Amino acid sequence: MAGLGQRALAGAQGPQASALAASLDHLGLQVTQENVLAVRKTLLAEAVQLDGLLSLHSRTLRVRAPAGDPVSGPAAELLNEKLEGLKVQFQTHVNALKAAGNALTVTAQAYGYTEEQIKASFDPENPLCEAEGGLS
């Protein structure tokens, strides 16, 4: 058994992947044959939800200069730069969740689950679907 972060992000590189793996390992969860589909579903469902929220609100996360004074314009620009940085960081987190979920697809295959069982456990077109059946 490997920690969730180690299993989900095996082979992923970079500081973001390392930080996510460490935070997932810190949870103390273990990916096993019995829970791999549930863990995968949780990660992918969270990624879908967060991605939707980012898409919905991304365009409205802007600050306009409230007045014509010499401070408001530059202050609004600075705040918008900070907001853009936060959006990029948020999208990076969403992408890491997707990558972790996709890595667990490979793990589930290694555990003997079929493509149909894996898809039935979480279908991005139907995020509320439930896992069906056990190992083939």
21: number of Cβ within 10 Å: 21
In which band, very low, low, confident or very high, does the pLDDT at 1 lie, cut at 50, 70 and 90?
very low
Q: What is the pLDDT of residues 106-131, one digit of tens each?
A: 999 999 999 999 999 998 776 555 44
| 1 vs 69, residue with greater confidence | 69
Predicted local distance difference test score (pLDDT) of residue 123: 80
Classify the phi-psi angles of 112: left when phi > 0, otherwise alpha if psi is within -120 to 50, otherwise beta: left
**pTM of the full predicted structure?**
0.71
CA distance 27 to 39: 12
Q: Spell out the domain ranges in the chain.
A: 2-121
Q: What is the pLDDT of residues 34-89, one digit of tens each?
A: 999 999 999 999 999 999 999 999 989 999 998 889 999 999 999 999 999 999 99
| 14 vs 50, residue with greater confidence | 50
Predicted local distance difference test score (pLDDT) of residue 136: 35
Predicted local distance difference test score (pLDDT) of residue 30: 84
Return contacts of 54-57, CB within 8 angstroms, 24+ apart: 54/87, 54/90, 54/91, 54/94
